[in-house]
Amino acid sequence: AFYPVLDKKLPVAFKAESVMDVQRVLTLQSDLGFNLLLGEVKQGWDVIDQISESEAKVFLSLNMPEIMEEKSDSTQTEDSTEKTSFDLEKEALENRKKEMIDQHYAQASAFRKAGVKFGFSTLEVEFKDIRKNLINLKEYGMQESDLLAALTTHPAELLGLSNVMGSVDAGKMANLIVSDNPYFEEDTNVRYVFVSGRLYEFEVKKKKKEDKGKESKK
């Protein structure tokens, strides 16, 4: 079973979420010399150069932390008048937390700038958060074309499946979605899904407008 691995015809896939996980796997690959696939990478920004040198196939996790809301200037001004040592320590902790969250969202752009091709992994992310996280990635340097490639053509290429999926071409699997607005925009609805050419239609429920007039009378 391991002959294809030893002959480098088949990569070994590892789930490597943290930077320590990635470093351990890269060390193992360096010692044994197999082709590598890194999956569900969440904290790989500090080892991009090593990943690039390893020629590993990379899938970045779409399971992202919630973005912290920034305090308004007025609130910050009020807080700065009387701050105890506890307040300062709490503020420093919040800043470190925000910096870490920002690094999660900036990771995809950092890999793109380094020329490391990657796909996105949805192994652990909840379905309702996928598009929201993709839209947030736009705020951290990712273009819509880059996001689309990481969801379609890049994964197909990395997995050696470009001949059957990844783009809309004759002879390939007809797995498609059709939305009523650009997919990476707010308030976009998926209207049709094609799975192996079979159509599934989704009804869009219109949001009910509140009748403020009636509420005021009540």
Tokens 């707010």 locate to 186
Q: Is the pLDDT of residue 78 over 60?
A: no
Q: What is the pLDDT of residue 36?
A: 97
What is the pairing mode between strands 57-61 and 118-121?
parallel
Q: Is the pLDDT of residue 104 over 90?
A: yes
Mean pLDDT of the region 118-122: 97
Q: What is the pLDDT of residue 204?
A: 86
Residues in the chain: 218
Q: Is the pLDDT of residue 216 over 90?
A: no
pLDDT tens readout for residues 158-200: 999 999 999 999 999 989 999 999 999 988 999 999 998 899 9
- Exposed e or buried b per residue across 58-69, where buried means at least 16 C-beta atoms within 10 angstroms of its C-beta: bbbbbbbeebee
